[in-house]
Chain A
Amino acid sequence: MTILYLILFLLGAGLVACLAERLNVNAPRWISLLAFIAATIWTGAIWLGGVDPATGFYVVGELSWIPSLGINVILKVDGLSLVLVGLTTLLGIIAVVSSWSEISTNRGFFQFNILWVMAGVVGVFCAYDLFLFFFFWEVMLIPMYFLIAIWGHEDRSYAAMKFFLFTQVSGLLMLVAIIALVWLNYEATGVITFSYDELLNHEVSGTVASLLMLGFFIAFITKLPSVPVHTWLPDAHTQAPTAGSVILAGILLKTGGYGLIRFTVPLFEEASRDFAFVAMLLGVISILYGGYMAYSQSDFKRLVAYSSIAHMGFILVGVYAFNELGMQGAIVTMIAHGFSTAALFMMAGSLQERLHTREMSQMGGLWVKAPRMGAMTMFFVIASVGMPGLGNFIGEFLVLIGAFKVNVPLTVLATIGIVVAAVYGLSLMQRSFQGTPNPQVAAMEDFGFREISVYAIMIVALVWIGVYPQHVLDLAQPTLDALGVAL
């Protein structure tokens, strides 16, 4: 039940933070920060607690919910979930700190939303009941919508709407697929159940399987996102407040990748294998198109947003390579991208806070004024370009080496994406921090201790994953073994 308590704890902290604003305007952010720190420690404790040999999971919790429909609260944490939950709580801390001084209105409600998004995401990562999964899947949307719609930038209404519509509509497709799956299982076994484990045993095949698989697939690639359903992301990211972008890029996108690994592939293995080529192709297109679009942008955040699309393409390629290397690569990419892109979004936020613009034409030569910011940006650009020794490289390399075994032409195209990454990554650096200092930019405050320490966390994380990714790999390995599809 621990994980349910963790979710409830985050929800509760959200309520407290919301109400605490009346006592003190600064209280919410402290509550939120402490809550996330506690949650991180909590997650760490689960990790240290080790796998329960009886169940093969770190934590298992079951609770009756809607028994008449075979719906129960089933929350289980295996290695994969644990890694992602850890990422979530850690990025929670980072999100709170990154928005420390940015938010000046309705701080309580702001922290409320952050905590609730995170609670939803933790639920998504741990749910072993399809209904529950869908429930959390949608629950995390609403606070995210608020984050964008209330504290976003100039075009927030449009962006928030777009974000919500895309996820919601694709989610409905998944809902239909879930119900159809349950129904097929019911017809075959006479039992109505939404339990993941039981549905896993039910083999669906043929056209029906392909259609149901598509239902899940579309929902997940929309979240991921992959071309051609990616267009919500640049808008949402660009308009969201910093914390929103951090959460979006860092965690919300990962739910798509997680869903593919946890649900689409195991539930419809055969259909997925048949579909692998198309999926990989979409991934490759995302990599190249995302990179190309990133280069086209003049808005700092938009550029990073498109780069996210490119990175997420690797996940698609990796998952549908259908081997351990690819899957592990996808997982490492999820984690590493969580840090590298979140950091770049935070940078965009910091710049916006200082310059009141995200347009790179208004920047240039900022390194002279804020060398620490420059160095940090450089680091994360380099990381996201896929420099060996940093997390993203491990993920992308594993994905590619795995994919190469399966499909050479697509892998070659995907590898070209690495060159494109260099093109847009360095162009970002050049246009913002290097080059002739823009005379319109007056003095700019450099990073202080608070910012540096947050970035330090992410740097350490990226280097750690880049140099010794084994922790992540070992955690995810049993999951992949259990899924039995990666071999």
Chain B
Amino acid sequence: MPPTEHVLVLALMLFCIGAVGVLVRRNIIFILLSLEFMMNACALVFVAAGAKWGQPDGQIMYMLILAIAASEVAVALGIVIQMARRFRTLDVDAASELRE
């Protein structure tokens, strides 16, 4: 079994990559995609931790994350569809009417 610390490092790298994606991309689809990486990084840690402690809780948390990710994506894509319709673009910078 891979050492937990190594998994954690991997997960954190993944998390950071996801974060970079969120910070850099302007296309909302890509942002959501990056968010999936971040979520997955969390999932990875949970599973690794569960394995480390020999508990099923880690995997259960993983399943919950699954549910969360699915719901988020569902609603998010709903919003994406509406945005594409109203703003005629997926560029989030285009949607910055709300500002000082």
* Direct touching of A and B (C-beta under 8 Å): no
Name B residues whose Cβ lies closer than 8 Å to a Cβ of A: none
Show the binding face of A for B, using Cβ within 8 Å. Answer: none
